[in-house]
Structure formats: structure tokens, C-alpha cells
Amino acid sequence: MTILKQEINSQKKMLLIWSLVIGVLIASCVLMFPEMKSQMGNVNEMFSSMGNFTQAFGMDRLDFGTLTGFYMIEGGNILGIGGAFFAAIVGVSALMKEERDHTAEFLFSHPVSRVKVITQKLLSVLSIIVIMNAVVIVLSILSIAIIGEEFFWKEMFLFHLAHFLMQLEIAGICFGISAFLTRGGLGIGIGVAAMMYFLNLIANISKSARALKYISSFSYTEAADIVESGGLEMKYLLPGMAFMIIGIIAAYVKYTKKDLR
């Protein structure tokens, strides 16, 4: 577990910053909710009459006037984009950074097999994403407790589970990409996350582009679907998990055969 410890240790500052930024932003939104609730009648009307924009963000099916609807739309945007970008950065840099920072020669001249290094790096990516989500959830619960609103445990659990799985999917895909790179992967990682996000928006706007939902990792984080069905959309989640597994397998296959620079 030496490498796992080192990986988490070397990224603790970034982890703290991202976790706090996402968590505090969501908590701030929640803290603003009581003030906004009184004006929600007009806001709801406005949001539900913005055509494609309304559809794109699922605001036609969620009530912005309840904390559940408000939390899942606002929190969904923050955690969706923030979490996806964070997972992409962590995933894409995991293997690539050893060659980018010229530390591969140091690490791999020690008696650790490449499989062991990949596995420990994969575990570090998982741990970092778990910690980030734990901080966000704790801050969210605290903020809900502060405003004294009723908890919506089931929806909240499903919402955070969906986002956690989405982050794992993006991290898994980016981890696979990471094995092929020797430098400059951040742009690719963020590009993958942004592409997934926009594919889902396009699929929400246009019926003819519905098939994109099977590709986008954001399709199973759709708050309106979670609230309506009381579960995660398996038809979108399963392909997503398959993409993640393919990414991880690609990382093992490529990195064990790679000539290190």
C-alpha cells in the first residue's frame, strides 16, 4: 500500500480544494434556499417556460420550490460538472504523471510489478473520489440541518450514488487514456468530461439524439428520472459501467507492455 499512500498524500491539497469548493458551493445554495423559497412561485414559472433550456436541465419535471427539486437541480449542476472534471483530472493523471514528471524511472526501478502499481493507483483514484464525495455529502447534510428543512434521504442517497458512479465511469475511462499518454492529458480528461456533459444536454433537447444517452455518463444522474422512478436508470448505467471497465482493462493491457520514458 506504499504507492496508494503516496498517491493520496501527494494529492491531498488538490483533493481538499476541490472537495471544499464543490461542497461549499452546494451548501451555499442550500443556505440560500429559505430566502428563495418565498419567490419560487415566479421562478418556477419562469424556469418551466424556457423551452429547450428547461428540458435540457430537467427543470420541466422537478419542482424548484421544494428543497428536493432545488437541491437536485442546483446541486446536480455543481456536483455534476465539478465532480466530473475532478474525476477526469484524477483519472487521466494517475499513470501519465509518472512519465510526465520523469519519476517513472525512479518508481519502476524498485521491486514493484506494473500490475501492482496500476492496482494501487486505481485504488488511490477510487479513494480520492470517495473522500471528495464524503466531504460534499457531509457539508450538504450540515447545510440542510442549518436551514431546518426536512431531509429527503432516499432521493439524496440515489442522487449522490448516481454522481459517484458517474465520476467513477469518467475516472475509469480517463485512467485507460492515461496509460497511453506521456504528457498533456489534462486537456483530454476535461474534454472527455465536458463531452459527456454536452452529449446529455443534446440528448435532452433533441428527441432524435436520444441514443446519446447510452453514451453519456450524465444520463443516469438525471435528477428528474431519479425522483420519478425512485431508482437509477439501469439502461444508461450498465453501458456506463461497461465503459469504465473497458477503460480499466485498457490501462492494464497497455501499461504492462509500455516502454517507459
Partner 1 sequence: MEKALAIDTTKLTKSYGGSRGIVDLDLTVEAGDFFGFIGPNGAGKSTTIRTLLGLIHLTSGSARVLGHDIVEEKEKILSKVGYLPSEIFFYPKMRVKEAIRYSADLRGASCSKRAEELCERLDLDPMKRVEDLSLGNRKKVGIICAVQHHPDLLILDEPTSGLDPLMQKEFFSILMEENKEGSTIFFSSHILSEVQAYCRSAAFIKDGKILLSDKVGNLEQTGTRKVTVYGSLTKEKLNGLSGITFTNDARDEGLKFLYNGDIQKLLTLLAEEKIRDITITEPTLEEIFMHYYES
Where on the chain is the footprint of partner 1 (CB under 8 A)?
Answer: 2-3, 6, 10, 101-113, 257, 259-260
CA nearest neighbour of 72 among 107, 35, 29, 116: 29
Question: Toward partner 1, which CB reaches closer, 61 or 100?
Answer: 100
Nearer to partner 1 among residue 110 and residue 207 (C-beta): 110
Least separation, in Å, of the C-beta of 107 and partner 1? 8
Smallest distance, partner 1 to C-beta of residue 252, A = 16
| CA dihedral of residues 167, 99, 20, 24 (deg, nearest 10) | -50
Q: Which long-range contacts (CB under 8 A, 24 or more apart) does 53-60 make?
A: 55/204, 55/205, 56/201, 56/204, 56/205, 57/201, 57/204, 58/204, 58/222, 58/223, 58/224, 58/225, 60/224
Kindly tell me which of 9 and 52 has the beta carbon lying closer to partner 1.
Answer: 9
Least Å distance between CB 103 and partner 1?
5
Of 2 and 52, which CB lies nearer to partner 1 in the complex structure? 2
Q: Taking the complex as a whole, how short is the minimal distance between the CB of residue 185 and partner 1, in angstroms?
A: 18
- Residue 119 C-beta: closest distance to partner 1, Å: 14
Residue placing its CB nearer to partner 1 in the complex, 53 or 108:
108
